[in-house]
Amino acid sequence: MPDNPKDRSRLLSEIETLKSRLEHYRQSYYLESISLVEDSVYDSLNRQLVTLENELNQSLDTSPTQTVEPERNNKFAKTTHLRPMLSIKDAFDLDEIRAWLNSLERFAGYQLSSDSPLHTEVKLDGLAIALRYSKSSFYQAITRGNGQIGEDVTHSVKTIKNLPLTLDPQLFNRLADEQGRLEIRGEILISKANFDQYNQSLALRGLPLLANPRNAASGSIRQLDPKVATKRPLEIIAYDFGNYLGH
């Protein structure tokens, strides 16, 4: 922390400027499904803010570095997650990857060796979603929201063609919690190939083109009219449980 009041004042000013810029980008990205800057630019600004907040030992709960998504309006009903639905933390260099591996070692209670297997997956760029089932049947879809509370977008999600409306009863009964619920988490997206094909169909009809697959997927689900989602080539890829027996 700087001892000079002028240095501290300058850093505080830089923090407020970065917070304002990042919040503007976040509002556009999450509330309007519009990306104003490249991900690399946003990540760079966010890292600058983290560095300054650490230098001043100042990181408020309302800072963009501490929240998943900005608060939304009352367009959709709000629902509390069965357990927090957090976002993935970034690592940009070997030192940050090593720090992440060290945190895994502390969590697991043993040291990884050079030949320890690691499972990696491609990060999907769409809309994070929690799918809830009761008695083997799908009944609700919730966005990530702020990580604690998300939006109910069931009306649009249930139109997605590859959404399993029912699960195998035996599998469900093995995994469901004590309240008879099972939550599966995943990503709603539009593949690049399907996105290009859909845009071509729009062009042939003289209609405005969609900006990019990520915005198209997110914007389709956040419509009050489910017909929008029905018309677009959306798909769901599941990768995790939100809750299951004993968790």
Report the 10 Å Cβ neighbour count for 45.
18
Annotated catalytic residue within 6, 89, 123, 161 = 123
Question: What DSSP string runs through the chain?
Answer: --SSHHHHHHHHHHHHHHHHHHHHHHIIIIIS----S-HHHHHHHHHHHHHHHHHTT---TTSTTT-SS----SSS-EEE-SS--PPPPP--SHHHHHHHHHHHHHHHTSPPPTT------PPP-SEEEEEEEETTEEEEEEE-TTSSEEEB-HHHHTT-TT--SB--HHHHHHH--TTSEEEEEEEEE--HHHHHHHHHHHHHTTPPPPS-HHHHHHHHHT-SSTHHHHHS--EEEEEEEEE-TT-
Respond yes or no: is residue 123 known to be catalytic: yes
Cα 29-156-183 angle, rounded to 5 deg: 90
CA 32 – CA 35 distance, rounded (Å): 9
Active-site residue list: 123
